[in-house]
A and B are shown apart, each in its own frame.
Chain A
């Protein structure tokens, strides 16, 4: 799955981005891209950081397109939130100042 996403799907979506706005089908293309991202992200799990940059780039491009509808913006925001969660998780894994759970169940500061 990872290879399909990084080697095929993401590059193909990136290839579509410059074409957004050049056709009356743009809104439908945007919807297809969003649907693809919605379907793929849950399957990636811990693999998200590897494709984070590419998906962020796609999100930026979709949001910049005036053909993107309000409903599509909402969906894109939801995808964005998943990427923020990946950023949170990555920080939590290396943060030397992160609170640690003490043995008595309280959180040390």
Chain B
């Protein structure tokens, strides 16, 4: 608790306002080259993680309000928003994890993986997830 309070005091003395991270959340283009620069991929990763946070809030909401229309699971054949959000969330996390692993080793980032992440970001943004979390 002492650490929390000391940090709080430091922050109070510094002031300032929150970064405009919502700008990260936007639609990105599919890469047409074989690999993409790490910096480009990192922006997509950050965008996905903002959406992932919103997705977590969405899933928690659906646990509490399963009858809400935005939480309709649909069927496997005709998935509703809930199933789609789960699918895109997992797709994005898998791609993000691969990009992060490549980033740590300095390996080139495959445009296939990058495009999967972009697809997940764009698709997740088209689900009710985009209405959850800080915008």
Interface string of A1-37 (1 = CB under 8 A from B): 0001000110111111111000000000100110110
| Residues of B close to A100: CB separation below 8 A | none
B57 in contact with A97 (CB, 8 Å): no
Given A52-B56, A53-B133, A94-B66, is A8 in contact with B8 using a C-beta cutoff of 8 Å?
yes
- Least Cβ distance of B24 to chain A in Å? 7
Asked if B78 is an interface residue, CB under 8 A from chain A, the answer is no
| Residues of B close to A40: CB separation below 8 A | 4
B4 in contact with A87 (CB, 8 Å): no
Asked if B53 is an interface residue, CB under 8 A from chain A, the answer is yes
Q: Dominant SS at the A interface? A: helix
B12 in contact with A91 (CB, 8 Å): no
Given A16-B16, A36-B3, A84-B93, is A96 in contact with B57 using a C-beta cutoff of 8 Å?
no
Query: Which bucket holds chain A's interface residue count?
Result: 35 or more
Q: Dominant SS at the B interface? A: helix
B55, B56, B63, B133 — which one has the most chain A CB atoms within 10 A of its CB? B56
Asked if B108 is an interface residue, CB under 8 A from chain A, the answer is no
| Residues of A close to B71: CB separation below 8 A | 94
B89 in contact with A87 (CB, 8 Å): yes
A17 in contact with B16 (CB, 8 Å): yes
26 residue pairs bridging A and B, Cβ less than 8 Å apart: A9-B8, A11-B18, A13-B11, A14-B18, A17-B16, A17-B18, A32-B10, A35-B3, A35-B7, A36-B7, A49-B57, A53-B54, A56-B52, A56-B53, A57-B19, A57-B21, A57-B50, A64-B46, A86-B56, A87-B59, A90-B60, A91-B89, A94-B63, A94-B66, A96-B82, A97-B86
- Contacts A12-B8, A36-B4 given; 20 further ones with Cβ under 8 A? A9-B8, A12-B11, A13-B7, A15-B15, A18-B19, A29-B10, A39-B3, A53-B54, A53-B134, A54-B134, A57-B21, A57-B50, A57-B134, A61-B21, A83-B53, A86-B56, A87-B93, A91-B59, A93-B60, A94-B66
List residues of chain A with CB under 8 Å of any chain B CB: 4, 8-9, 11-19, 29, 32-33, 35-36, 39-40, 49-50, 52-54, 56-57, 59-61, 63-64, 83-84, 86-87, 90-91, 93-97
